[in-house]
Structures are given as C-alpha cells and as structure tokens.
Amino acid sequence: MSDALNPVTENDLHAYADGHMAVDDAARVETWLAEHPEDAARVAAWRSQNAAIRDMFAPYATTRPEDAALLAVQARRPILERLPLRAAAAVLLFALGTATGLGLPSLLGAPATATPIFKQASEAYAIYAREVRHPVEVWAGEKDHLVAWLGKRLGEKIVAPDLASAGYTLVGGRLVPVDGVAGALLMYEDKSGKRLTLLLGRTAKKNETAFQFASNGAVETLYWMDNGLAYAVSGEISREALRAVADLCYRQFQPA
C-alpha cells in the first residue's frame, strides 16, 4: 500500500528471513510479501535453507571429554613444542598484514615489511620443511599445474628445477608471501627425507647480485637476485652442498 513511501529493500527481506527485525518492520515486510509472491518465495527458500544448514551442523555443537584437557594441556605445553606454531603464527601475521589488503583487525599485529629475503627464506624453510602432513599445497604429482599456478601468481614464468643430480626430488610447492606479495616456495627432498626449499619472490628492481650465504640457526640459506626475481635456497645442509644445488637452480632459470 505504502510501497512508494516505504519500500521493502533486499536487506529487509534478508533480515526478515533471518529473524532480525523489529515487530513493526516485520509487519511491513509481511504486507509486502503478501503482494509480491516472488519475494515471498525467495524468503521461504532462504528460511528452509537456514533450517537445513542449521540442522547440518547442529550435531557438532558438543563438548568432548578431551576438551578440558585440550585447553589445559595446550596452555602448559613445553615451549619448544610450541615454537613451530609460533613461527607459523608469525607467517600468518605476515600474510594477514600484507597479502589480503582487507583492512584486517589490529589485534593481529603489524605487518613485517623489511625482513630480508634470506630471513624470509629460512623462516619459510623452518616452518614448512618440518611439516609432516602438509609440507606443500600442491604436490609434485601435479607439477605442471604447480609451476603454472605459482608462475601466474608470481607474474613470471617459472620452472621447478631438476635437482636429481644433487640427489633431491621435488615434493611440491606452495604460495607464500615474499616482501608482501605472492612468492613461491618449492620443496625438495632426498632419499633420507632431508628437505630443501627454494623461495622465489619478485624484487622491486631488476638487479643482479652474486650468491650470498646467510645462516639462521641450523638453517643455511644461499640467495641471489636475477632479472627481477629473488631466489633463496635453504636447508640444514653444508654450504658446499647448498652451493651445488644453487648452481643447478641458477642454470635452469637461465633463459635458453
């Protein structure tokens, strides 16, 4: 009746379906729905979906006997055991601060922006190489997809270097933040399960640098920049072995 003066908006329909409406407003919407069967049908569909979705997850709203222990044990867990998680949290903070650009909650902390590439590389190694179940996002079985995907995110065609002559085979790769933009982390493994990571990130300038070593605890990193990309190989291996791997990478990243 008073449609023109008091139109029912799309938002009103959702609020009505979700039961978030004052009584007066709800009456107004009901009047509208009586005159607009299409809207009424949509609201009815949302309501039945709401009920179905609620039913779907309602069985999970339970406590389990181990819950109290879960909270207590975690609080008391030895510091050493928690370190990888803390490191993971640090990477998450970094990703949150830089990768999404969504204006994230300040409680998540400030983004780390000035971390040198070798430090980012050794941290990525420390986190992901020790992951047993989920070291990579995409496994080597889908190598073509992996390099195409990472290359696209990186904005540069890449290859996964063949390190077989050094005794390492590709495990897979994942997307990681490098200097606040998408970078690629490739992981390799030798027969004994010892792992190496190769981090690739974009650099602001197209400069070229020599190979440079850096140590971070037990993790050695060898890094260089070449043609707009920064490369860093990290592992808990000797500098000589790392050097051999970096040579292989460097040669295979050269344009033919």
Partner 1 sequence: MLDLMPSLRRYARSLTRSDVDGEDLLQDSLERALVKRGQWSGGSLKAWAFSIMTNLYRNDTARATRRRTAPLDDAQDVPSTLAPPGDPLERRKLVAAIDSLAPDFRAVLMLVVVESMSYREVASLLQIPEGTVMSRLTRARAQIARILEADNVIPMRRSE
Residues contributing to the site for partner 1 (CB under 8 A): 10-11, 14-15, 18, 20, 42, 45-46, 49-50, 52-64, 67-68, 70-71, 74-75, 82, 85-86, 89, 92, 95-96, 99-100, 103-105, 107-108, 134, 137-138, 145, 149, 152-153, 174-175
DSSP 8-class letter at 130: T
Q: Which residue has the tokens 């390799």?
A: 188
Tokens of 64: 């389990």
The dihedral built from the CA positions of residue 128, 129, 130 and 136, taken in this order, carries a sign that is positive
Minimum distance of partner 1 from residue 46's CB (angstroms)? 6
Nearer CB in complex with partner 1: 132/256: 132
Nearer CB in complex with partner 1: 104/241: 104
Strand partners, 195: 189
DSSP 8-class letter at 161: -
Minimum distance of partner 1 from residue 15's CB (angstroms)? 7
Minimum distance of partner 1 from residue 114's CB (angstroms)? 21
Minimum distance of partner 1 from residue 164's CB (angstroms)? 26
Q: Collapse the DSSP code of 166 into the 3-class scheme (helix H, G, I; strand E, B; otherwise coil) and give the result.
A: helix
Minimum distance of partner 1 from residue 251's CB (angstroms)? 30
Q: What's phi and psi for 113, nearest 5 deg? A: -110, -30
Contact indicator for 172, 139 with CB cutoff of 8 Å: yes
Nearer CB in complex with partner 1: 145/206: 145
- Cα–Cα distance between 95 and 78 in angstroms, integer? 26
Q: Which of 195, 225, 229 is nearest to 212 (CA)?
A: 225
Minimum distance of partner 1 from residue 17's CB (angstroms)? 9
Nearer CB in complex with partner 1: 20/157: 20
Nearer CB in complex with partner 1: 93/241: 93
Length of the chain: 256
What's the gap between Cα 114 and its chain centre? 20
Nearer CB in complex with partner 1: 113/227: 113
The dihedral built from the CA positions of residue 150, 156, 157 and 161, taken in this order, carries a sign that is negative
What's the gap between Cα 108 and its chain centre? 15
Nearer CB in complex with partner 1: 35/67: 67
Minimum distance of partner 1 from residue 210's CB (angstroms)? 33
Element (H or E) spanning 126, and its range? helix 117-128
